[in-house]
Amino acid sequence: MSSKKRRDAPAEKALAARKRIKSSTEVLAQVNKLAAILKGSTAVARTLDGLHLPQTFREVVEKDADAVLDEVEGAIYQAALSILNGEGFTYDIPSRGRANQQYIPELDRIVLKDSKAPRTFASVKTCRSAVITTRILQLIHELCQKRIHVTKRDLFYTDVKLFEEQNNSDNILDDVACMLGCTRSSLHVVASEKGVVVGDLRFREDGDEIDCQRMGVGGKAIPPNVDKVDGIRSNAMFILLVEKDAAFMRLAEDRFYRTYPCIIMTAKGQPDVASRLFLRRLKEVLKIPVLALVDSDPYGLRILSVYMKGSMNMSYDSSNLTTPDIKWLGVRPSDLDRFNIPEQCRLPMTDEDIKTGKKLMEEDFIMANPEWVKELEIMTKTKVKAEIQALSSFGFQYLSEVYLPLKLQEGDWI
Amino acid sequence: MPRKGDTLEQKSPAEFFAENKNIAGFDNPGKSLYTTVRELVENSLDAAESLGRLPSIEVTIEEVTQKQLNKIRQVVNHERLDEELYQDHETEDAKKKRIVKENKDRERLKKQLEKKGESADAIEGKLKDIETKNAAASSKTLKTFYTVTVKDNGMGMPHKDIPDLLGRVLSGTKYGVKQTRGKFGLGAKMALIWSKMSTGLPIRIRSARVSQSFISSYTLDIDIQRNEPNVHEAKMIDNPDRWHGSELSVTILGNWQYYRSKIIKYLRQIAVITPYSHFSFTFKAEDASNDIHVVFARRTEKMPEPPKATKHHPKSVDLELVKQLIQKTKYNKLQQFLCKEFDAINSEHAGRLIEEMRSGAEPETDPRDLTNKQILMLHQLLHAAKFSDPSGNHLSPAGEYNLRLGISKELHPDLVATYQGDAHVLEGHAFVVEAAVSIGGRDIKPGINIFRFANRIPLLFEGGSDVITKTALKRISWPSYKINPTSDKVGVFVSIVSTKIPYKGAGKEYIADDMQEMVQAVKQSIQQCCLQLKVKIVKQQAARDQHQRRKNLVKYIPNAARAVFTVLESMAESRAVGPKRKRMQDDDDILAPVKQMQTSEDTLIARLTEHVAKIDSDMALEYQVQQGMAEGIRQDVYLVPLSAQHEFGRELHASTCVIKLLTAL
């Protein structure tokens, strides 16, 4: 009896919260305000060159097939010349290691410093990678000439014997992109699609008209090469970035975007390059706020940071991949108590979690936002984490019918 | 209170050990066989070493069946009258069940073999094998006995002392402390008790002291209850060859099958730690085809110094020991007693200690006159006061030389490094840790193989919680020494010697892992070995790289040439799309020759091969120079001057040599 009472108390509160939700226009008032500020701010996007920093940094740009072709031919020409002169050949590969990365607070993202390492054929240590680099250059040359795209997996299978593991070809592909000074997607090699999008969004993909409101529950797969996307149109008020597939499906099935016009997308965990490119493109074209719904654990925050500041692995391409200014909507550590998430849905953090959490707190981009620091402090102090699904304890549709509207109405993002 | 009819009986030390065989390593027949061999071998080693002779030890184990044993014991071997009386009798039901099961197994096996497509003959053969194996297994249930004989070239035993030396379990403390091999001071006596308990056969002894004209020959056993020797026969035989040493022969219940590997492992490891000994081991089975004969040959004639007895360190004594020392001492002044009977106390120090006691004791007091209270005070003070550590000079470690030699001779490793640490102290007892780490070798499995030695005898059981095992497996970061702990064949040898080894567990089979000093000393010794190895391994790796460099580079030439040429070909057929190529092409057109087929893939291959060859020879030269410098091989070379009248010019230094020019005057 008593245990039932205890369980009912938060449920009642949850239902009471539902009554506080007003009409959809009123709910979206705060979002509108944010969007207006965003559209009004004519802050020019700052670039690395514009900062006039004393050191040189390395960044890559989007290049068309011919430009890439010229870069590849230049590199191979150089190598051939050197071979014919009897000097073997060497590539200068920009180092992508952690030691060569730096966070630029003015830009709010990670960039590569200018250190390079020679990759010489006639050295036992670098011989293999020099040969793989040559082979990849040749394959890219072929792709750019034929103007076709392949996946990383395809690339690996063209010469399994030499590459041995897909890791090798993937890594060297990034090296090559860095060396040629272009983004990885300009190399005509794409990762297989992972992200999905649904909601108030229409665009043309390679000439085909796509309407993301008619994509059923599963949503539209985010195209691997964003350069084939154009004609983006939308009446959405905001973009809702969801960490997980499960929450995405809930929102898609409940047609959340009908009540509150928005675009919902997810990359199902760690975002791939295509999803990050797509999000950046949407934000650039539509100029609407991006709100994130991630788990209340260090991992969720890490995912958010990849969207915003770029990943360590792809830091050379951070200018093309990152979407700064994503608002953290939920689930935040402070929400757990505010929404009376029951105990059984909160999980104790493992030692590993706590370590990651503390490490995050020391990272520049978290420290740049005091409110995020506060949330992280709550997390590491209470040592409790929760997933988005914890909200389902009040009913499966609590997320789409109560939690999100309430958060939007209160403008509760940081 | 004892009940009426009960009598209080005094238990003899022999009785105590008979009842608690497991403490002394006689847990079960198999272990008993192992422990018997080990006790006798260690006795023999001590006997030879104390004489300063290089030990030569012969171990023989002879299988004795129940029937043979009965013959020896003169018990008649009866045919069974009532089969059902016996434990191994098979009832009708059980027999039926067994036959059904056997047939089933047979069928299943047959099907399996047929599936594999083996010929009918092969199948029959395999089935037969299995049946004979089964038969052998069922006959194994019979108890088997073994006669263990160990013969040495040691000092022998005095004729009249033999019964007491072997047939009486002695208790009482030794005067002073000394590093000893034995764990309990029981030696062969426990084997004697075990033989008495399992077969009832007496032990046979032949022994002669150096240049003794006769050999003592005894047959005796032990009266366990009274802890007394019981001599069956004592003889003196002529000794024309002036043989000296001892030969003990004991017949016991054992289990060779399960402990064979342990016994051989033990002998191999004792051969590692005592490379100056010669061991020969023979196993005579009932079936001669199962005989085994192994010889562990002597490799050196250098023996470590025997351990010396030392005085008790004040930190190590307990109350009872203090009382005993007081009783036995020949000094009748307290001050003298303290500085003569204890380590690390000099006369002045003793005076200060007595003053500190303040309980009426004077330096001149006869220690035997001390009151109980005063003794308590003294004991407390000895533990509270500060003393210098025992020096460790009285210990006898195997020595790096012997350890290295032993490992080399038994394992033939590719690399071996040894290290001997300084003496450390644990509860007033000095200890020395020596270690060796070997890489590669024969009869050694990939991974970390641990060999533990305590007071120069191998420890084979209960290795899991041992300080050496734990340290080697958990506290050493192998990869940082370029050693792969899973795929390399690594041998870790650690030998600890001490006047008191801190054993744990009743069987004294492992050393506790909870003492910081011990853990540190073991870890440091292994690390030191690893450091030495790392240098060698890195050098080896460099030599190997040197050797394989060319091969590895040449391997990839076709790949690189093809990739580059494919792009060149394609470029030759299309026009430049960007400025970069155009500019380069204007500078130096290599595409025209490609188009005119003057440059081909083979051209690239040839150029790359030339380049690799050049780089390789450059690197080889550099390597040689570096090696030469490191090894410090320098040789003076002189040319005979044409005339006696000459003067030297200045030295000309090159990377490989120094040249002095001379001019004739």
For B395-449, the three-class secondary structure string (H helix, E strand, C coil) is: CCCCCHHHHHHHHHHHHCCCEEEEEECCCEEECCEEEEEEEEEEECCCCCCCEEE
Say if B655 falls within a structural domain.
Answer: no
Among B559, B576, B608, beta carbon nearest to A88: B608
| B-chain residues near A163 (CB < 8 A) | none
Identity (one letter) of the amino acid at A105? P
Range of the domain at B241: 13-65+144-296
Say if B268 falls within a structural domain.
Answer: yes
Question: Total structural domains in chain B?
Answer: 5
B546 or B4, greater pLDDT: B546
Nearest to B419 by CA among B527, B515, B301: B527
Q: Whole-prediction pTM value?
A: 0.61
B280 or B119, greater pLDDT: B280
pLDDT of residue B137: 56
Instruction: Give Rg (Cα) of chain A.
Output: 24
Instruction: Indicate if B225 and B284 belong to the same structural domain.
Output: yes
The answer to whether the CB atoms of A87 and B599 lie below 8 A apart is: no
What per-residue string of b and e applies to B397-408 under the rule 16 or more CB within 10 Å gives b?
bbbbebbbbbbb
**Active-site residue set of A:** 157
B249 band by pLDDT with thresholds 50, 70 and 90? very high
DSSP conformation letters of A225-269: -GGGEEEEE---SEEEEES-HHHHHHHHHTTHHHHS-EEEEE-SS
pLDDT of residue A1: 42
Q: pLDDT tens digits for chain A (414 residues)?
A: 444 444 556 667 666 777 788 888 888 888 888 888 877 775 556 677 777 777 778 778 888 888 899 999 999 999 999 999 888 899 999 888 878 888 777 777 778 888 888 999 988 888 899 999 999 999 999 999 998 889 898 999 999 999 988 888 999 999 999 899 888 888 888 887 789 999 999 999 888 999 999 888 888 999 888 878 889 999 999 999 999 888 999 999 989 999 899 999 999 888 888 899 899 989 988 889 999 999 998 888 889 888 888 887 777 787 888 888 889 998 898 888 888 888 888 888 888 888 888 888 888 778 888 888 888 888 888 888 888 888 888 888 888 888 898 888 888 888
pLDDT of residue B616: 83
Task: Estimate to the nearest angstrom the gap between the alpha carbon of A37 and the chain centroid.
Answer: 24
Judge whether residue B633 has pLDDT over 70. no
- CA-nearest residue of chain A to B575? A70
Instruction: Indicate if B126 and B151 belong to the same structural domain.
Output: no
pLDDT of residue B109: 79
Tokens representing residue B358 in the block: 């303040």
Say if B533 falls within a structural domain.
Answer: no
Domain boundaries, chain A: 10-45+190-409, 57-187
Segment (H or E) for A299: helix A298-309
Kindly report the backbone phi and psi dihedral angles of residue B284, in degrees, each rounded to the nearest multiple of 5, phi listed first: -105, 110
Nearest to A133 by CA among A191, A100, A178: A178
| DSSP state, residue B154 | S
Strand partners for A145: none
Asked whether the beta carbons of A149 and A188 are under 8 A apart, the reply is yes
| B-chain residues near A74 (CB < 8 A) | 578, 580-581, 584
B305 or B115, greater pLDDT: B305
Instruction: Indicate if B221 and B342 belong to the same structural domain.
Output: no
B468 band by pLDDT with thresholds 50, 70 and 90? very high
Instruction: Indicate if B492 and B550 belong to the same structural domain.
Output: no
Instruction: Indicate if B259 and B335 belong to the same structural domain.
Output: no
Judge whether residue B476 has pLDDT over 70. yes
Among B571, B579, B611, beta carbon nearest to A87: B611
Say if B57 falls within a structural domain.
Answer: yes
Total length of chain A: 414
Listed in order, strand segments (DSSP E) in B43-89 are 56-65
Beta strands B489-498 and B447-454, pairing class: parallel
What pLDDT digit, counting tens, does each position of B389-447 carry? 888 888 888 888 889 999 998 899 999 999 998 888 888 888 999 999 999 988 889 99
pLDDT of residue B340: 85
pLDDT of residue A311: 80
CATH 3.40.1360.10 given to domain A10-45+190-409? yes
Say if B74 falls within a structural domain.
Answer: no
% pLDDT > 70, chain B: 91
Instruction: Indicate if B50 and B160 belong to the same structural domain.
Output: yes
Q: Which of residues B296, B325, B351 is at a domain's end?
A: B296
Nearest to A58 by CA among A107, A117, A116, A111: A111
- CA-nearest residue of chain B to A132? B560
What pLDDT digit, counting tens, does each position of B44-81 carry? 998 888 888 899 999 999 998 888 888 888 877 777 77
**Which residues 545-564 in chain B show a CB within 8 A of chain A?**
545, 548-549, 552-553, 556, 559-561, 563-564
Say if B160 falls within a structural domain.
Answer: yes
| DSSP state, residue A61 | B
Say if B242 falls within a structural domain.
Answer: yes
Say if B648 falls within a structural domain.
Answer: no
Q: Which of residues B526, B554, B573 is at a domain's end?
A: B526
Instruction: Indicate if B170 and B259 belong to the same structural domain.
Output: yes
ipTM given for this complex: 0.78
Q: What is the CATH number of the domain that holds B227?
A: 3.30.565.10
pLDDT of residue A5: 46
Which of A186-190, B175-179, B193-197 comes out lowest in average pLDDT? B175-179
Among A70, A145, A162, beta carbon nearest to B581: A70
Is omega for the bond preceding B567 within 30 degrees of 0, making it cis? no
pLDDT of residue B172: 43
pLDDT of residue B218: 93
pLDDT of residue B437: 94
Q: What 3-state DSSP class applies to A393?
A: helix
- A 10 A CB-CB count for B176 gives 15
Q: What 3-state DSSP class applies to B299?
A: coil
CA atoms within 13 A on the CB side of A313: 12
CA atoms within 13 A on the CB side of A112: 25
Q: Which architecture characterizes domain A57-187 according to CATH?
A: Orthogonal Bundle (1.10)
